[in-house]
Structure 1
């Protein structure tokens, strides 16, 4: 009997031009790779049922759960600055929506389940490496407290997909607050389908921003709300050294969640201009450029909303420009607020931002490891603490001493004891992140050696990122020069 899930599929009740109905391609020999039992319980799903043959069949596309209404969503997008009018879910389908235990409406999507109407020349399939990569990194981001899509399960399909070489196939079951993107609005705006833009905006307001539904200017309020969420999201990305790698408008979710973990990476040494994605040859989506790109993407959303904002185009443009101009202030407030927390400072005062910028400058010059710098700094809240391990990250740079003196003096005015400051810093600065080289090693062990132990160990560590566990000490270290990942790759 097929798995039954209490779906309530609101997006599938929109007009047919918003999607294409599609059936997943049956996986020939599905096998469970990893199941997120904690998330399953939060969703009100039975982990044992999901791990059963019927559950694995549903998670692989071999069977469609009762109540599902599989659809591939239509959207367009700017890819590396170039507009593509028709993209859509080329290797994914929305099984349906469910209501979690906390009342949230969430999408349940299969990624890698076969061709759709939007696949173009692709096979619609996914290889096991990208699937397990997204599972691991999205769950790490959730553990960091960063808004993100989640991963419920990864299932091997038992078939081979052809990429640079033959690879085992897999399907990811992704959970999201919504899969509506900036590119979804662009799809209708490009076709001069104002009714489509309006219906989509009304849907997004009702589902994602219900607090603005009674606004006198709901579409302007929607745009401002999306600007606010994106500003905060990008600030959080930067606070953990995250590089998305492919910030196309079709990869910016209106919900404010991180979505699509293709060629993403994390900083080792602090390099603001670092871009590791193999397809980002010009560094458009480098770590330090992500705020500007987010604002550019939001401008594209604003263009789509113009007909809804005013019948007077000049007035509509004025509304967009005014709301968009607030992005920089919102981002800076979120960015410095987060980085000051990383420094143990709870309430911002005049001069605090200079502490952040001075430290980052020292890190860049000293090629200091981003994650370890902030984690080890928590050991130095006591003025008598040994600074050797911290200074070693900067090559023993004695120029750090004045900064440390100023930072400790500022902490002393914050009303916390050194121990309290240290505890607060350890609660926000991860000890372990998905280091690029460790991710690649874990995936290679599965693909080339059928050894899942390194992956399981890394997954357990990055989903408990604020714990100092001696057995995971090697996972916290930056790579040796010969182990450093020089490029990351998209899974298509």
Structure 2
């Protein structure tokens, strides 16, 4: 077995009362083998740099019992497409335990696709290869973009058949997260009148994730304030990079503001604010431009559940801060992407004109932002050529360059185009998760070739780098690859 230091494993959630979860033994898949292993993340927690074999591989895949793991399925509820559903919980994933790294950071280790649980409802408790690949790639892409997210430690494929629209192969994802506590955990306890347990969970959230809040005048108000803040930051980041979650149910909302539960998701190709990536979202509830308001709706649902321990007026006061915080975070994100860090009176109208132009012309959003970042060494025509309406693009670009020329540093010195663009290239990725690239990688993987998955994982983990060897992955998507709708079936 490869050398690694002993794992530091805890089971804090397993110490909670029985109403929070059910103990479940993973149901092994047939002939599992590693197809991805996140070496960088593994080393952080003392795991082998290379995908482990032998007993450790069997333990991580649920084939044999690890003496320190306590596999469990969490119980929670949630609002799904705005309708409360009390019958939710981990239907195909198990919390194995928690790993602690050398710095003392604690992450949940979660095995997705581990088989039936008491909360599987009509499902089979399995995950298929295509959805597992998508979650692996996108969670690492979000981490590469600097957005709070769950992470992917490893992925295994098997010979076990799983039936969706067609027969597929069962797969396993080892997911790591600082927390798997969801808004829906508090909703479940509130609506079942388990108020002592709700208070206990709030105490544990404070103890585990924000211990400094225990000293606040009212720790529960301070906790809700923190949830509002981290959620506002996450949504601002999603909107700035063009990420569409697709299923923003309250049971898919992390209590600590991490991007969570990758199902039908997408990044914008052509700029379309009303884009719907989930083909099951018939009403467009989770369209891209509705994500900010839906997050507030979800926070309100959480606030209602927390009314058992927080006064309604205090909840409303914190909710009133959401849009203010969201606008502040979003403005900061977009100013960095455009290299306009100073604030001028003209900026409000200027930003409006930009998004009107992007929406009118449906220009490729990530490419547009990256080309703006390259104006220090490339021709302005690289930006203008992205637009069908070249005259409008040229007019806007001239205005942008005039506005950018007014940028100064903290000492009042003019910022050069090179200085501005160097900073912009640190926040405008060259490589983004494109659904058509992911689908091509999935098609190859289903034939046993994981080379494209590995290449995409490499590029998405360092999306701001040039990666000159892989510049073909920076191409604009073909028409058939734009605006793809993704199924919930996984």
Contact preservation (8 Å) 2:108, 2:176: yes
- Tell me which residue corresponds to 2:411: none
* Aligned positions, number: 481
- Is structure 2 residue 414 aligned with structure 1 residue 422? no
- Tell me which residue corresponds to 1:46: 48
The equivalences for 1:60-75 within 5 A come to 60-75=61-76
Per-residue deviation, 1:347: 3.6
- Is structure 2 residue 333 aligned with structure 1 residue 333? no
- Tell me which residue corresponds to 1:442: 441
CA deviations 1:258-289 (Å, max 9, x no partner) are 00111111110000000021211111101111
Q: Distance in 1 between matches of 2:205 and 2:344?
A: 37
Contact preservation (8 Å) 1:140, 1:433: yes
- Is structure 2 residue 361 aligned with structure 1 residue 366? yes
Q: Distance in 1 between matches of 2:315 and 2:481?
A: 46
Contact preservation (8 Å) 1:86, 1:187: no
DSSP-derived class of the 2:441 partner: helix
Per-residue deviation, 1:468: 2.0
Q: Distance in 1 between matches of 2:344 and 2:220?
A: 35
- Tell me which residue corresponds to 2:25: 23
Per-residue deviation, 1:333: 0.6
Q: Distance in 2 between matches of 1:462 and 1:166?
A: 29
In terms of mean alpha carbon deviation, does 414-423 or 370-379 score higher?
Answer: 414-423
Contact preservation (8 Å) 1:30, 1:62: no
Per-residue deviation, 1:221: 1.1
Contact preservation (8 Å) 1:435, 1:478: no
Q: Distance in 2 between matches of 1:428 and 1:253?
A: 24
DSSP-derived class of the 1:65 partner: coil
- Tell me which residue corresponds to 1:256: 257
DSSP-derived class of the 2:374 partner: helix
Contact preservation (8 Å) 1:355, 1:403: no
In terms of mean alpha carbon deviation, does 5-14 or 472-481 score higher?
Answer: 472-481
Contact preservation (8 Å) 1:30, 1:56: no
- Is structure 2 residue 400 aligned with structure 1 residue 407? yes
Per-residue deviation, 1:404: 2.4
DSSP-derived class of the 2:36 partner: strand
Q: Distance in 2 between matches of 1:74 and 1:334?
A: 33
Q: Distance in 2 between matches of 1:75 and 1:412?
A: 53
CA deviations 1:305-334 (Å, max 9, x no partner) are 11211xxxxxx2221111101111100110
Q: Distance in 1 between matches of 2:67 and 2:350?
A: 56
Contact preservation (8 Å) 2:275, 2:483: no
The normalised TM-score by structure 2 is: 0.95
- Do the aligned partners of residues 15 and 348 (structure 1) sit closer, same or farther apart at CA in structure 2, a change above 3 Å counting? farther
Structure 1 vs Structure 2 CA RMSD: 1.6
The normalised TM-score by structure 1 is: 0.94
- Tell me which residue corresponds to 2:304: 303
- Is structure 2 residue 339 aligned with structure 1 residue 344? yes
Per-residue deviation, 1:28: 2.4
The equivalences for 1:170-209 within 5 A come to 170-209=171-210
Long gaps (5+) in structure 2:
409-414
